[in-house]
């Protein structure tokens, strides 16, 4: 894997690791559930919801990588860029830039 110094350079690689629309779908589902748990956290201030947000986001994403895309998540080498990339891709899905169905 190439070394990426900026998110702008990393993001095309990130998208290439999510070529299958069902991998994008698993990310979208996991991020949506994660957002739900973050809202629950802010409403209750119960920190267990932070754990659930991270767990749901990563669990769905990793299922997509290991079983659909059959690649290793970039999170292991680029955790911050991958986290940002997931949310950027999420917004782009909402904008119709990526097909998930």
User: How many domains does the structure of the chain reveal?
Assistant: 1
- Whether 61 is covered by a domain: the verdict is yes
Distance, CA of 38 to CA of 32 (rounded, Å): 10
- Whether 9 is covered by a domain: the verdict is no
0.85 exceeded by the pTM? yes
Containing structural domain, residue 84: 19-94
Closest CA to 86 of 38, 29, 2: 29
Predicted confidence pLDDT, tens digits, the chain (101 residues): 679 999 999 999 999 999 999 999 999 999 999 999 999 999 999 999 999 999 999 999 999 999 999 999 999 999 999 999 999 999 999 999 999 99
- Whether 64 is covered by a domain: the verdict is yes
Roughly how many angstroms between the first and final C-alpha of the chain, as a whole number?
Answer: 29
- Whether 48 is covered by a domain: the verdict is yes
- Whether 8 is covered by a domain: the verdict is no
* Torsion sign across C-alpha atoms 23, 29, 30, 32: positive
- Whether 27 is covered by a domain: the verdict is yes
Up-side HSE of residue 100: CA atoms within 13 Å toward CB? 18
Distance, CA of 52 to CA of 7 (rounded, Å): 26
């Amino acid at each position: 894997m190439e070394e990426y110094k900026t998110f702008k350079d990393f993001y095309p690689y990130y998208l290439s690791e999510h070529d299958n629309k069902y991998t994008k779908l698993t990310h979208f589902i996991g991020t949506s559930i994660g957002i739900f748990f973050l809202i629950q956290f802010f409403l209750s201030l119960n920190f267990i919801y932070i754990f659930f947000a991270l767990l749901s986001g990563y669990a769905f994403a990793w299922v997509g990588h290991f079983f659909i895309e059959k690649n290793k998540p970039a999170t292991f080498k680029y955790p911050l860029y991958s986290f940002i990339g997931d949310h950027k891709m999420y917004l782009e899905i909402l904008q119709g830039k990526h097909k998930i169905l």
